[in-house]
Structure formats: C-alpha cells, structure tokens
Structure 1
Amino acid sequence: MNATATPSPGRKPVARWLRSELPQLLLMLLLLAAARDSFANHYYVPSGSMEHTLEVGDRVAVDMRAYGVRLPFTDVQLLATGKPERGDIAIFDSPEDGVRLIKRVAAVAGDEVDLVEGRLSINGVAMQALDQADTELFEQHRARLNLAYGGGPDLHAITVPAGQVLMLGDARGNSHDGRFFGFVPASGLYGRALAVYYRRGEGLGWKKL
C-alpha cells in the first residue's frame, strides 16, 4: 500500500494569512519609514566635535520638519517650513564627502563673522557670555565650548553669502567644519536637533538643546 502524504493542517491558514496581511504590513512599514525620513529621526554622535554640548555616543532627537518637508527617501524639498537660526544645531551632508554631520549654525546669510582663538563675533558683537568665558549666547541657544584643543583656524571679516550658513563645531580646535569645507546651503540642512535623549553613563532622558 502506498502511503499518501498528508499536508500540515496549519500550512494553508498561514499561507492565506500571508496573502491577505503581508501587503498591509509592508505598506505600514513603508509608511513608518517614510515618516521617519520626513518628520522625525535621530542621530548618533560619532565624535567630540560638538563638546561640551554633545558628547561621543549621544543619541539626539531630530525634527526633520524644522526647515522643510522632503519627498521621502530623496533630497527633494516639497515645502519650506522654516529658516535656520543662529545657534541651531543641525544635520547636513558634508560638502566634501557626503558624510552626514551635526554642527552648530554659527552664522546666517548677511552675517559678518570673526573667529579668533575659537571665540565667535557676529557683526562686531562678541557671542561670549559675560558670566562664563567658554560659553556663547545666541538668541535661543547657549553653546558650551570645549577649547581644550585650542581654537582652530581663525576667520576674519567673512560675510556669509545669500542662501548659505556657516556651520561650526563647539569644540573649535577639534572640529572639521565650515572653516575647512566652506559654507553650506541653508536648503541642505535636513533637520534641527531637539534634545539628547540618551547619554552613556546617564541613560535615557531629555536634555533640550
């Protein structure tokens, strides 16, 4: 007598479930990925160029809508939603090699910049806080500088062109920034850093930037 193979009773329901549910699951994953790419994201800090504001290993929440809404998975901007302001910490691609960086918007279009021994002046006004020598005050932000490595290259009477921004690290002597690769198009900023939500040794939290 020939034995007849009996199909597994659970195989057909699983196959039916996959056929009916898999397209919806894939669509949901695609929508979640698109929302992350266009609206909210995070950034892992790989270097000390933004010390003491950001530390190596920090995880930073990023508002991807701060300056514009992009077509998901592209660099095409669909809608401009804001302009970068002095002191913002922003995400952008290096003009040199395309590596994604996080730096501070030190100056915007029309600003005249002087940077001497790591200390910044905009339009003839020193950004240094009166109460703290290594802290700079912007309208909405406070930058905690790390000048342990020196100030890096100086800048003298440099004017930021229209449509551009100057990006600097807070660790002025340990930052490969706009002093080396030049100005960055304001439209090229992907998003604004909101807060550090995880720091090694401290765990989860919300340190607003």
Structure 2
Amino acid sequence: MRRTLRENRGFLLFLLGFGLFRTAVADWNPIPSASMRPTLLEGDVVLVNRLAYDLKLPLTDVVLLPLAEPQRGDIVTLSSPAGGTRLIKRIVGLPGDRIAMQGGVLILNGQPLAYTDRRTVGEQLAPGWPVAAVRATEQLPGHSHAVQFLPGVTARRDFAERTVPADEFFLLGDNRDNSEDSRYIGTVPREKLIGRAHHVLVAADWLGEDGWRMAPRWGRWFTALR
C-alpha cells in the first residue's frame, strides 16, 4: 500500500489540488432542468466563479473572508436551504428589499417591473408535450434580462409583500412558471451562495423528440450570461 501511494504521489497530489480548486476557486455546473429558460438551456454547462462573493473553507459553507457583495441580476449557484440540492437561479431581491408578485409581475420596493418585447413562442415541457410560452425582457433596476412565462401551466404567480432579511437574498428562475425558487424555498442566506455563473462553457442539445439526442450547440459555447 505504501509503495503504491509513493509511486502515485504526484497523481494523487494533482487530484487533491484539482479537487480543492473546484471547491474553492472555480467550478462548472451542468444545467439539468428548464428552470432558467430562455437564459440557460438543458445541456448547457456554465462556468462558476466561487470567489465572486466569499472565500470559503473548501467543501463547506464556512465563510473565511467576504470578497464582494452579490448584485441584483446575478445568476448564482446555491445550496438549497430546503434540502441542500444544488440550484441555479437569479438574484432579484437584496437584503432590505420589499418583494411581492401579482399576476406574474414582480413588484420591487412598491414598484411593478416593466416587461418589454413580449412575444409568444413554442416550448416543450417534455418530449411530445408542446405548450405556448410568452417571453419578455424584465427590467430589473440596473439590469434587464429575458424571462419566460407558461400561461397554460399552474404556477405560483402571486404572493404578498415580504421584506428580504439581512444577509439573505430572494432568488427566482427566469422560467417563472417552472422553477423551484424563493417562492417555495424561502430567501437564501449568503453563505448558501456557491458562486456566480458568468459564461456558458459548452452546450449540447440532448432533448430530441425521442427524449435523447446529443448534438453540440456551437453558437452557445463560451457565451457570456446576462
């Protein structure tokens, strides 16, 4: 055993260093669901900066040093407070913000957001399950981005005003009617934020009519997120 470890010491140190790099500095995150459509698609792999907000003890949520403040509009990966599942969502509410929703319209600090460039497109909830989807540009203060609504799907489109607690954030998926986000899991403590996703690294189309297909989406490779 000792001989094996000695002979493979360089490789084992490389694996250890690589693991620490992924858990403390930078990571990549495959997108398995439609909760961030149209911004992110199933089959995308996003690059995540784990040092965007905090330096953490590797493999933990323990913050060693705060580095920067999360911003409204950032796309973040997180450990869900409702069970630890890794999710990817967008920050729409900062600590102290008052958040409400009426008929799918987000209301921030008493002001309903504007939704421009509305258009109807076809969308597949699953292979062989087409639905009509409405896409628009949501005008968050200081940040505009695409969102999607599914009028024919039952979803939580209304909630009473709440104030985001100190050091916590309110997150939503861009696919508003198909996302498990702060409407269901509550606000997210800062230490649960893993990092900020800023680019699609690679992308593949793996949802064909038969439920499985693997074809590169070349036009999405190395594209910046907004």
Classify the secondary structure of the residue corresponding to 1:73. coil
TM-score normalised by the chain length of structure 2: 0.77
Matched, 1:74 2:60: yes
| 2:12 equivalent in structure 1 | 26
Higher strand fraction (1 or 2): 2
CA distance change for structure 1 residues 125 and 206 in 2, over 3 Å: closer, same or farther?
Answer: farther
Matched, 1:193 2:208: no
| 8 A contact 1:120–1:126 mirrored in 2 | yes
CA distance change for structure 1 residues 126 and 206 in 2, over 3 Å: closer, same or farther?
Answer: farther
Matched, 1:88 2:74: yes
CA distance change for structure 1 residues 140 and 34 in 2, over 3 Å: closer, same or farther?
Answer: farther
Counterpart CA distance in 1 for 2:5 and 2:66 is: 40
For 1:114-153, what aligned pairs fall within 5 Å after superposition?
A: 114-132=100-118, 134-138=136-140, 141-149=143-151, 152-153=156-157
1:141 Cα deviation (Å)? 3.9
1:131 Cα deviation (Å)? 4.8
CA distance change for structure 1 residues 119 and 199 in 2, over 3 Å: closer, same or farther?
Answer: farther
| 1:176 equivalent in structure 2 | 180
Classify the secondary structure of the residue corresponding to 2:156. coil
1:138 Cα deviation (Å)? 3.3
C-alpha RMSD over aligned residues = 2.3
Q: Which runs of 5+ in 2 are unaligned?
A: 119-134, 205-215
Cα deviations by residue, 1:29-78 (Å, 9 ceiling, x for unpaired): 21121011111001111111111111111110100001111122222221
Q: Which runs of 5+ in 1 are unaligned?
A: 1-15
Classify the secondary structure of the residue corresponding to 1:41. strand
1:130 Cα deviation (Å)? 4.4
Counterpart CA distance in 2 for 1:159 and 1:117 is: 19
Counterpart CA distance in 2 for 1:118 and 1:171 is: 11
For 1:24-63, what aligned pairs fall within 5 Å after superposition?
A: 24-63=10-49
Counterpart CA distance in 2 for 1:21 and 1:82 is: 42
Aligned residues: 194
| 2:222 equivalent in structure 1 | 206
AA matched with 2:148: N
Classify the secondary structure of the residue corresponding to 1:103. strand
Counterpart CA distance in 2 for 1:60 and 1:139 is: 25
1:114 Cα deviation (Å)? 2.0
Question: Equivalent pairs: percent with the same residue?
Answer: 37
Matched, 1:164 2:168: yes
AA matched with 2:10: Q
| 8 A contact 1:153–1:179 mirrored in 2 | no
Classify the secondary structure of the residue corresponding to 2:73. coil
| 8 A contact 1:90–1:191 mirrored in 2 | yes
Classify the secondary structure of the residue corresponding to 2:183. helix
Classify the secondary structure of the residue corresponding to 1:173. coil
AA matched with 1:168: L
AA matched with 2:17: L
